[in-house]
Structure 1
């Protein structure tokens, strides 16, 4: 049940319930904005508009560009709001109502090893001034894809929300919501239970024999591999691994189609030109 490069035969134990937090002050961050098919130039999904000949596309009632009365709610890209998603949130804010505040942003390098909190090269770190919060949102951007995952706060210390160097959060989470602009990750707009696997340790497969939302952490192996994973309904949504190993990182949105479900051992960091992680609070 133990994988070659992670376990090395040492003792491991799975946490459930309260988090064990070995706290060294840390931080995380990111910013996202991408033009994707089906989005307006401002960055949101909009209703069909008139074609080059001036006639509206099928399904548009009344004014061109406005959704019909029974249209699905508009889903704006991170950093935009409004009926047509062309209204930008104020700088340093995001979310459907622009009420989440940026705490951390990280332009992820291709590779490296972070064994202390100060090793993480955050582009933005406002954890000392961001204030109290009850909700947290993580945004991962990989080239033209991005995903927003929000959940109830699992700590009251904003400095513990970033890359989990020398600390562990291996706990269930509640009221997770996903807004996705990535091919392999669907939206999850109804608040749903989930879990987080945040640690710098090596880890092994869970009882199901796969690396997923049930990994077993190696408690005696800190600063060994590294996991920053958010799972909703048992399936990975954000994965950023291997940052304590010293070589190419594992990065992914949604469930991996090949290899391990949570992107462990993917070492695919160099395959992306843009790699950005952001953390917001509300």
Structure 2
């Protein structure tokens, strides 16, 4: 049986991806705000997942029904949950320790670490072009943080870099899951399984808050859920090569939101470093796209028996 071709609507895909990036930027900046209002990071994680779950269930109900979440790979989903929760914890912490634009910029190193992990763990062939992009990305990090200047909290930089490494590891697990599971199943099990450790931890960290803080926690969950759905939907309507550049607009949104809440404007070195890191990430994505197309073309060429 021939599968119907996936519809391609690039403008819709770009719009969904841009919406997702804006929502994620708002979520991370709000996490920074609630931390300053005395909310423990475990609370932020719990409400992020718990309040996003209704969005995920509603989406599944409308798209294919909850019966579609049946899986034979619950162990892999559990591993993805543990990695994903670790990455989310570290990402939240990086936005608490660093200015939003700085945390977002270091987060852009994820494709760089993805390339390294793919070469080391998956033994994927990685040529001089992608290794050069990796080197340029690391130069961008050094330009941005300028270790000798001492103006960046190194603890925050370390947390952000480890967060990028863990997020890159998640992408490898998602690549394996994607061979048998659709995006909705992956999102459902990640959100649902994460409630187990977070639910166990919450009695030790839950606190009473004022109405404004509760409203901010509600915002974290809602925009996080919307972002998750828009990220998934964007890949339904357009390829990664089309939507990925929208991810780098996060530095604009996090900068504007940071300034709006009274944070300092990023230094010129942050912008220079960000440019190098973004260029590195986009080049790696372009090389991946080109390799994928070449692989499809090669497999379509008939070979003699």
The TM-score normalised by the length of structure 1 is 0.26
The structure that is strand-richer by fraction is 1
The TM-score normalised by the length of structure 2 is 0.25
The structure that is helix-richer by fraction is 2
